[in-house]
Amino acid sequence: MTRTPLTKAVRYGAIMMAAGAGLNAGIAQAQDSKGDITLAYVEWSSEVASTNVVRAVLEEQGYNVEMSSLSAAAMWQAVAYGDADGMVAAWLPSTHEQYLNEVGDKVENLGPNLEGTKLGLVAPSYTDISSIDELNDKADMVNDEIVGIDPGAGLMNLTENVIEEYDLGDAINLQSGSGATMTAALDSAIKNDEDIVVAGWTPHWMFARWDLKYLDDPKNVYGGAEHINTVVRKGLKDDMPEAYAILDNFEWTPEQMGEVMLMNQEEDSDPYENAKKWVDENPEVVDEWVNGDS
């Protein structure tokens, strides 16, 4: 069989058709997207759960969503200066009060997306310490330390205030780390029937896994119940009104968040895939976020 060479004109035409097809596909893909959105968050189990769920919902509605893991301070700065479009991880009124005071005029606070949070010192229920003011006399029971999370977090700032207010500085050291190292230390202590005190918060999956208690805070340094708010950059409502409405409508319960957090603790689980599964299994809740009054 003899092959007939393609003329330059035919080859050129084929190349242009292929290029045109690729360009058209790219245009069609761009037209399918409603825009790019960046969500900032901190690597707390609660915020990993909520941010992935919001991402899944926004993607279902046609947005390209990127998640940006930052420290709490950097998260607020990112939203304030437009490096991120929003966050669903603002703990108020106490934990992130400092950050809100610094950039409050540059962001829009959409209000609570979860009520009933709490901060404080947490210990296994078997530990013979019931109040923070007992730590001076019983510091040796917990190796003279409180196991904390990432330095600079609002919870750590409050815990430093606790050490000062209860005059624990000579008896107790606050060990920084991360949410993961804190729960790993808690896991190890409980497996070995050892006493430990950690800086903790609700909602958190650790309360579903272990029998824990908050130490009483008679001086109320940690404050009362808090809430987690949604905060967005100025101008998002004008730029992306549908996405803004979804973020404004987003609200769920500690129990719903707990379902996702427990899924995320399963071995080799993917928080993003778990979020998509939860969204698929809770269409009525998601519909309220997508179509409810903003």
Q: State how far the Cα of 220 lies from the Cα of 241, in Å rounded to an integer.
A: 40
The candidate with the shortest Cα–Cα distance to 63, out of 229, 231, 245, is 245
**What confidence score (pLDDT) does residue 154 get?**
83
| CATH annotation of 36-117+225-291 | 3.40.190.10
| Per-run averaged pLDDT (10 residues), the chain, 294 residues | 44 47 45 87 93 98 98 96 98 91 97 93 98 97 96 90 96 94 97 97 88 96 90 97 98 92 92 98 97 70
Q: At the topology level of CATH, where does 118-214 sit?
A: D-Maltodextrin-Binding Protein; domain 2 (3.40.190)
Predicted local confidence at residue 95, as pLDDT? 83
Instruction: Give pTM, 2 decimals.
Output: 0.71
- pLDDT, residue 293, reads 58
> Are both 36-117+225-291 and 118-214 of the same fold?
yes
Hey, where are the domains in the chain? 36-117+225-291, 118-214
- Alpha-carbon distance of 252 to 292, in angstroms, equals 13
